[in-house]
Amino acid sequence: MKKSALLLSSTIIVVTGCTTAETSKDHAKQKKVELTISAASSLQNALLNIKTNFENKYPNVKINFNFGASGALQQQISNGAPVDLFFSAAEDKFNILMKDGLLEKKNEKDLLGNELVLVVPKDVKNGINSFEDLSKATKISIGTPEVVPAGKYAMETLQNIKVWNSIEGKMVYAKDVRQVLTYVETGNVDAGIVYKTDALTSSKVKIIATANENCHDPIIYPVGVIKNSTHSKEARLFYEYLQKDRSMKIFQNYGFIDLH
């Protein structure tokens, strides 16, 4: 009996030892992956919050963001830049990649919405209280319409309310909405047109008007996985994580509209 018990005990020790060793080996083998996410500048604050949550849950995946104007990011991807996921502030830029077969059709979604607002430096009274008052400004900033969706929406709004022609010469074009915001914060321009979400991040500007949604194309933020991603499994994981309740609450806290 003693021999049998000793033999059984040894077997358990050996099996347990093997299991522990195999588990450690599996963790050691877990591949570290870095994802490159090209995202519109207006998403920066929200995405940095979501990144922290995601990396805490999936420590083997590191998120690297490439923030910029959606048009510039789209051009980079079209030219072969190594990107795993694209989060655009405009459907037209996103649809170019979709048409060219660069995005996974099963992993793309219109996720967020936004609003367009007119901002002026806080505590500065310059007589500008509406979009129509922009004729009183010396300098006005918007994003470059060809590459910055917010700039395109701004131009559409100003054209539709019949003030564009009289103020076009006063425009200071910026590379993205964050730069527009900086110009207003520093007083380099009298007013700027940005997304509501960007305006809410600054204590140095004041929102004085919101553009009528009928005056510009719908502001929609589509997101999708790049077809030739070298880490498609992890890219899909982050794509799905963006749609979870915890992530959507973060977006909403920054002023985005939930479309999913």
Q: What is the pLDDT of residues 18-71, one digit of tens each?
A: 444 444 344 335 689 999 999 999 999 999 999 999 999 999 999 999 999 899
135 labelled ligand-binding: no
195 labelled ligand-binding: yes
Fold of 33-113+220-258: D-Maltodextrin-Binding Protein; domain 2 (3.40.190)
Segment 95-111, tens digit of pLDDT: 999 999 999 999 999 99
Q: Which of 138, 178, 160 is nearest to 216 (CA)?
A: 160
Distance, in Å, from the CA atom of 126 to the CA atom of 139, rounded to the nearest integer, reads: 12
Task: Give me the mean pLDDT over the 69-78 stretch.
Answer: 94
Q: Within the chain, which residue ranges are assigned CATH 3.40.190.10?
A: 33-113+220-258, 116-215
What value does the mean pLDDT of the chain take? 89
- Percentage of residues of the chain with pLDDT beyond 90: 84
Give the model's pLDDT for residue 260.
83
Segment 139-160, tens digit of pLDDT: 999 999 998 999 999 999 999 9
Q: For residue 136, how many other CB atoms are within 10 A of its CB?
A: 13
DSSP class of 148: -
- Given a cut of 70, whether residue 10 has pLDDT beyond it is no
Q: In the structure, how many helices (H) and strands (E) does the chain have?
A: 10, 11
Give the model's pLDDT for residue 126.
83
Identify whether the C-beta of residue 87 lies closer than 8 Å to the C-beta of residue 106: no
Instruction: Given CATH 3.40.190.10, say whether it is the number of domain 116-215.
Output: yes
Give the model's pLDDT for residue 240.
97
Angle at 115 between CA 92 and CA 91, to 5 degrees: 10
Distance, in Å, from the CA atom of 164 to the CA atom of 159, rounded to the nearest integer, reads: 5
Q: Which residue has the higher pLDDT, 1 or 260?
A: 260
- Given a cut of 50, whether residue 2 has pLDDT beyond it is no
Token look-up 């600054």 returns 202
Give the model's pLDDT for residue 125.
83
Give the model's pLDDT for residue 29.
52
- Given a cut of 70, whether residue 4 has pLDDT beyond it is no
225 labelled ligand-binding: no
